[in-house]
Amino acid sequence: MMDVAQRFRRLAFIQVVLGVVSFCIAAEDPALLLLVGAIAVLSWYVTEGPSAWGLPRVWVNLAALLAVAWLGFGLLQAPEEVLSGMGRFIMVLQVLILYMRKTNREYAQLLVLSLLQMAVASVLPGGTSVVYGLLLGAYGLVGLMTVLLMHLKVSADQVEEARREAAPAGVDAGAMAVSMGRGHRWQLRGLAVVLAVVCVVVGVGVFVGTPRTESGVLALTPQQNGKQTATVGFSEEIRLGGPPINAGSPEAVLNVAVTDQTGQVVGGQGTTWLLRGAVLDQYDPLVRTWRRSTGLTQQDRRVALSGGAVELLADATASEMRSMRYRTRITSRPASRRHLFTLSPTMGGVGAVVGVRSEHLAGVMFNGWDQQAMMTEVPRGAFVYEVDWVAYTRAGLAERYEEHLGPAIEEGMPWELQEGEGEAETEATGGSERGLQASLQGAIDAVWAGAWRSRGAGPGSGESAATQPVGDKRPGSATGWKVGPDRVRALARSVIRAELRPEERKRPASIARALSAFLEREYRYTLDNPPSTNDPVLAFLFEHKQGHCELFASALAAMCRSVGVPARLVTGYRVSEFNTIGGYYVVRQTDAHAWVEVQLGEGGPWRVVDPTPAADLAEEHDVEQTWWRPVVHLYEHLEYWWLRSVMAYDENARQELIAEAQSVVDRSRDEPGGVLHRAKELWDWVRGRLRLDMLGLAVLGFVGAALMLGLGLMLRLYVLRRRRLAALHLEKLPRRRRVGLVRRLRFYLMMLELLERHGHRRPHWQSPFEFAEELAESDPMRFDPVLALTEQFYAVRFGHREMDEPRRRLVKTHLRQLQANLGESG
């Protein structure tokens, strides 16, 4: 009993400490973890160590009152931090109780408080991590064992207390006699496993089957969660001139798998992509912000995902590009932003989105002019969507979308591109990692020159492009630059003159590349944004000559626009970290990036140009390939699985799961390949083949059942035989000998069984003779037959005597006698 009590105390302590650690991890507070964890762990030494000191109850009560006051004060100061405040309060109470001398009541309080703390922690944002999930699982297992032991202890203590009360005053009741059978430890552990399985099975049922509401009543803000700081990452608008940008959180936000039409994974370690999010075409110098213009927003089309999919381009168009069709599967964490991300090569054309698939989305807002896709409703939790895209090499993409999606897209294009014209321009991307992208872009680049030629006048002079009227029919405002236009234009022209040959000055692609190269070469990448009273773009270009990607992109867009090349900013992620275990790219908040898209003439395709120094960017974004990177990938893969399977489970997922289960059953029954269907076919075939009527079927069923029963019996016999061999210690004998001995020594097994039924079990360390002698000593009259039977056992087992008829009769008589002595009717 002491053992049970001691184990319970140890497990209860572990459970409470585990709860404290879990809460600190869920609250993402390492300082609290270190402080409270250390104090909690120290309590074991204080209360259970040699001194066995305990905090007096009065002190604990006073400290609890102080904790209440602290909680009240904290809530007054920051009422939005109610959850984390409650969690910390519960934690303080637990630590106080840990330092007390504890009775069962205190232990019960401790466990209840610990459970409540875990409930609070499960709602906190850090509670979504797989680490917390693992801790929760461990907590559950420890908790199960703790509760079992606690029940044993409390039950024993209650009886002990009753005994003490029943004893006369002043009389020591003595130690309680505890009865326990053999193997109690293993059986308790086995029972714990069974209970855990039952709990998990029911838990899964409740988890899967409980209907969910659309959203929790309690919408936790970061403040309520105790998280005051916002992480820097993807933004749907760019506000320049702010304070220095933090490096951001390494938290993974998306994972992206790219496959071709055959399902083959495309890309891998060393291949970098850009994930397009928001397209920003308008710069507001007053608030120094890039945002999407109203003209573009008005062109957004709402497209419903019927059956979980929608084609945004005509099938014919897509089929033309079939050999170049790719699919991007994106798993998004719980997000509040509405943007759907599409993939682009780091340099080259944007490509064309041809379809969107998702079981989680009801519809998307799509714009053919900038190919920005947004969700009509943001799903709760993590969700998955797929974007099909092609490396579109022809002009008139907007018209293609118009043809397919209907007339809502503004009719008439100012500049019609001629399909298939122009010469291919070699993309000087360089580098082995860009080989794939170069192949994707080969056809796209071919369009560029033709597009400009169709315009009739290239932007080589710069003047004509710069004076391009803004009020044309094209939505958006990707042209013109109003902040210090002359200075910017002068700078751009000087760069173009210096960098490009005259024939190249007519090509927007060349211009954009030259300006980008200039920025890459002459400007320094840094996250420290130096303060300035001037416009941030001008300050970057002419004063500081250093900044982050948004400033690089803004400067390039400004220079391109100043010389008449339409340009717009795109925000999204730079994707380079490939998870080899999951076969997808991991996208983190720190991968947030901004770049520029320039258009190859009116109506022409858009081309990605990234002016941020590639080396600095790689240094900032690319992950170091260390030996623990696979471990990190494994962890992240687990985390994504956890997020997608558990944390993001909602009503949609529930309905899908139910529907999927139903469909599996239906398919199995109805489809030719289904198991049930096959079984039915087999049954029909058997019936047809055997031509059986009902009687025949009944006979067949009976035979089958008998066969199964026979198999079961054989299995049972086998198990029994193994047991008998083990009981007689005959496992190591040759097969022939042991078979004979088992048969002959069966009477001894019967005797053991008989004795065992009455609570007399032979320990494995005791020889048959010792066992018989001990029994006979305890009650000679009763157990005398045991001695006689044991003698017969020795005679047969070691004396090689046969079980002849007289011996058999003798054994039978002794067994009957023993039965009678033990009070069993023969």
286/781 with CB nearer other proteins: 781
Distance CA 751, CA 757 (A): 10
Report the SS3 class of residue 202.
helix
197/457 with CB nearer other proteins: 197
Question: Closest approach of Cβ 87 to other proteins, in Å?
Answer: 13
294/645 with CB nearer other proteins: 645
Distance CA 702, CA 696 (A): 10
Distance CA 386, CA 408 (A): 25
171/781 with CB nearer other proteins: 171
Length reported for the chain: 826
- Neighbour-count burial of 172, counting CB atoms closer than 10 A to its CB (0-12 exposed, 13-18 middle, 19+ buried): exposed
Question: Closest approach of Cβ 56 to other proteins, in Å?
Answer: 26
163/680 with CB nearer other proteins: 163
224/299 with CB nearer other proteins: 224
| Of 355, 449, 821, 381, residue with least CA distance to 644 | 381
Question: Closest approach of Cβ 190 to other proteins, in Å?
Answer: 9
Question: Closest approach of Cβ 746 to other proteins, in Å?
Answer: 19
Question: Closest approach of Cβ 99 to other proteins, in Å?
Answer: 23
Distance CA 109, CA 114 (A): 8
| Of 756, 807, 814, residue with least CA distance to 782 | 814
115/413 with CB nearer other proteins: 115
38/171 with CB nearer other proteins: 171
Question: Closest approach of Cβ 614 to other proteins, in Å?
Answer: 42
Question: Closest approach of Cβ 276 to other proteins, in Å?
Answer: 31
- Neighbour-count burial of 774, counting CB atoms closer than 10 A to its CB (0-12 exposed, 13-18 middle, 19+ buried): middle
* CB contact at 8 A, 21 and 134: no
Question: Closest approach of Cβ 121 to other proteins, in Å?
Answer: 9
383 strand-pairing partners:
332
39 is written with which tokens?
């104090």
50/211 with CB nearer other proteins: 211
Question: Closest approach of Cβ 65 to other proteins, in Å?
Answer: 24
DSSP 352-413: EEEEEE-SS-SEEEEETTTTEEEESSPPSS-EEEEEEEE---SS-HHHHHHHHH-TTSPP--
Question: Closest approach of Cβ 813 to other proteins, in Å?
Answer: 24
Question: Closest approach of Cβ 227 to other proteins, in Å?
Answer: 16
Distance CA 30, CA 23 (A): 10
127/460 with CB nearer other proteins: 127
Q: Which residue has the tokens 């020889």?
A: 767
Read off the amino acid at residue 801: R
205/531 with CB nearer other proteins: 205
Distance CA 362, CA 501 (A): 51
Distance CA 444, CA 393 (A): 4
235 is written with which tokens?
């933004």
Q: Which sign does the torsion angle of CA 99, 101, 103, 105 carry?
A: negative
